[in-house]
A and B are shown apart, each in its own frame.
Chain A
Amino acid sequence: MRRFLTIAIPIVTLALFICIMLSGSILKRPLGKDDDVPQAIENLIQKINNDDWDKVNSEIDNLEKAWKKVIHRVQFSLERDEINDLSMNIARLRGAALAEDKGNSLTELLEAYNHWKEMGK
C-alpha cells in the first residue's frame, strides 16, 4: 500500500497540475447563461449593425459581467496579457459606443472575439 501511494501521489499531483494548466480552453466556455462571452459579442455586433445604440450599453454590461465570471475560472491557466487585452477591448468598446462609433465598436468587438478564440491555445 505504501509503495502504491509513493507512486500514485506524485502521478496524481502531476496530473492535477496538468489539468489546472490546460483548463483554460475548457473553462473559458460558458457554464451557465450569464457567462457566454461569444454570445454576448454576437449580440453586440447585431445591435451595433442595427444602430440600436440604446441597447448597446446594456449589452456591453452583459459582456463585461460574462467576461469577469470567466476571468475567475481561467486566471490560473491563461496569460495575464491575454486577459488584460480582452478587458481593454471592452473598455475601449464602451468609449466607442458612447460616441456611437460603429467602425471602432466593431473593431474592438472583433479583436475581443479573436482574443477569446486564441485563449488557451
Chain B
Amino acid sequence: MNEGLVVLVRAIIGFFSLLIFARILGKEQISQLTFFDYILGITIGSIASELTVDLSSRAWPHWVGLITWASLAYLMEIISLKWRYAAKYIEGEPAIVIMNGRIMEDVLRKMKIRISDIMVLLRNKGVFDLNEVDYVIMEPNGQISVLKKSEHLPLTPKDMNISVSPTGISTELIYDGEIFEENLREMNKDTKWLMKELKKRGIKDVSEVFLATLNDAGSLYVDKYKDNIKKVKDIGDYKGPY
C-alpha cells in the first residue's frame, strides 16, 4: 500500500468535492458570514482534511459526512430564503445596541457583547466619540452599522445645492500596456480618441501605460509605469528583511 499515493488521490477527492460544494452553497463573502456559517465552514473543512489524511478509515464515510453537512447547510439556506420566520431563528437578526445615543444595556447582555467590543467596532468605523452616534445596529454577521447624529454627518453637494454629474463605474481601457477594444467600444470611444488623450498627458506609446480607466462622467485616469517619484514614502514602522 502506497500511503503517499492514497493521500494524493484522497486529497484530490476532498479538494474538488469541497470546491463543488462551496460553489453550490453560494457566494457569500467571509465578511457576510454569520457565527453559524463560520462554524459550519470549519466543520466541513475539518471533515475534508480527515478524508484526506485519516487512512485508518475509508474515504467514503468521511465523504458522506461532508455531503451531509453541505446538504444541511444548503437546506438551511433554502429554508431561510423562503421562510423569514426561520431565517430570524437560523441567522439571527439585527439588534439595536445604541438608540438615540443611549446604550441598550439589556440588548448587550442578551447578545453577550461588552461595550468595549462595541467601542472597538465603532473606532473601526472611524467613530471615536459616542456623542456623535445616534444609532448603532449590531448585524447578524458581527459587524455594526452606524448612523451618526445629523449634526455630525458629512456635508454633501445636495446640502449645498450644488449639482454634480454622476461619476459612475470606472472601466479599464488599458492594462499592462494593452488596449481593451471591447471596453472602448462599450464606452463609445475608439483607439484614436484614446491615443489623443494619452498624447495630451505626454504619453507616446500604449506600452508606457500600466492602467487607464474611464468613468461614465468621461474622466480618464492614467497611470504610467514611470511614476517619476524620486523617493517612495515608507510607511513601515521598523526595518524588515526587505
Interface residues of A (CB under 8 A from B): 10, 13-14, 17-18, 20-22, 24, 71, 75-81, 83-84, 120
> Whole-angstrom distance between the alpha carbons of A108 and B9 in the complex?
32
Residues of A within 8 A of B6 (CB): 75-76, 80
Docked-complex contact B56 and A80, CB < 8 angstroms: yes
Report the Cα distance A22→B63, complex, angstroms.
11
Chain B residues in 8 Å Cβ range of A77: 58-60
Within 8 Å by CB of A21, from B24, B55, B58, lies B58
In the assembled complex, the CB of B129 is this many whole angstroms from the nearest CB of chain A, namely 51
Q: Are B13 and A79 in contact (CB under 8 A)?
A: no
Within 8 A of A (CB), among B1-46: 1-3, 5-6, 9-10, 13, 16-17, 20, 23-24
With A20-B13, A80-B56 known as contacts, the answer to whether A75 contacts B5 (CB < 8 A) is: yes
Say yes or no: is B156 at the interface (Cβ < 8 Å to chain A). Answer: no
Q: B133 to chain A: closest CB distance in Å?
A: 46
Shortest Cβ distance from residue B67 to the other chain A in the assembled complex, whole angstroms = 9
Please tell me if the beta carbons of A80 and B1 are within 8 angstroms of each other in the complex: yes
Counting from the closest, the 10 A-B pairs by CB-CB distance are A80-B55, A21-B60, A10-B20, A17-B13, A21-B59, A75-B1, A79-B58, A76-B9, A79-B57, A75-B6
Chain B residues whose C-beta falls within 8 Å of the C-beta of A76 in the assembled complex: 6, 9-10, 59
Nearest-neighbour CB distance to chain A for B63, whole angstroms, equals 6
Whether B56 pairs with A79 at a CB distance below 8 angstroms is yes
Instruction: Evaluate whether A83 and B1 lie within 8 angstroms (CB atoms) in the complex, with A76-B6, A76-B9 already known.
Output: yes
Chain A min CB distance to B46 (Å): 19
Bound Cα distance A1, B58 (Å): 36
Give the chain B neighbours of A20 by CB distance below 8 A. Answer: 9, 13, 59
Q: How far is the CB of B51 from chain A (nearest CB, A)?
A: 9
Given contacts A78-B58, A79-B57, A79-B58, contact A71 B1 (CB under 8 A): yes
Shortest CB distance A95–B (Å): 22
6 extra interface residue pairs, beta carbon distance < 8 Å, beyond A22-B60, A79-B55? A13-B16, A21-B13, A21-B59, A79-B57, A80-B1, A80-B3
Given contacts A21-B63, A80-B3, contact A14 B20 (CB under 8 A): yes
Q: Which residue of B lies closest to A75 (CB)?
A: B1
Asked if A17 meets B58 with Cβ closer than 8 Å, knowing A75-B2, A76-B10, the reply is no
Name 28 interchain pairs, CB-CB below 8 A, sorted by A: A10-B23, A13-B16, A14-B17, A17-B13, A17-B16, A17-B17, A20-B9, A20-B13, A21-B58, A21-B60, A22-B60, A24-B58, A75-B6, A76-B6, A76-B59, A77-B58, A77-B59, A77-B60, A78-B58, A79-B55, A79-B56, A79-B57, A79-B58, A80-B1, A80-B3, A80-B6, A81-B56, A120-B58
CA A17 – CA B51 in complex, angstroms? 12
**Mask: chain B, 201-223; 1 = CB below 8 Å from A; 0 = not:** 00000000000000000000000
Interface string of B139-183 (1 = CB under 8 A from A): 000000000000000000000000000000000000000000000
Taking CB atoms, residues of chain B closer than 8 Å to A21 are 13, 58-60, 63
Closest to A81 in B: B56
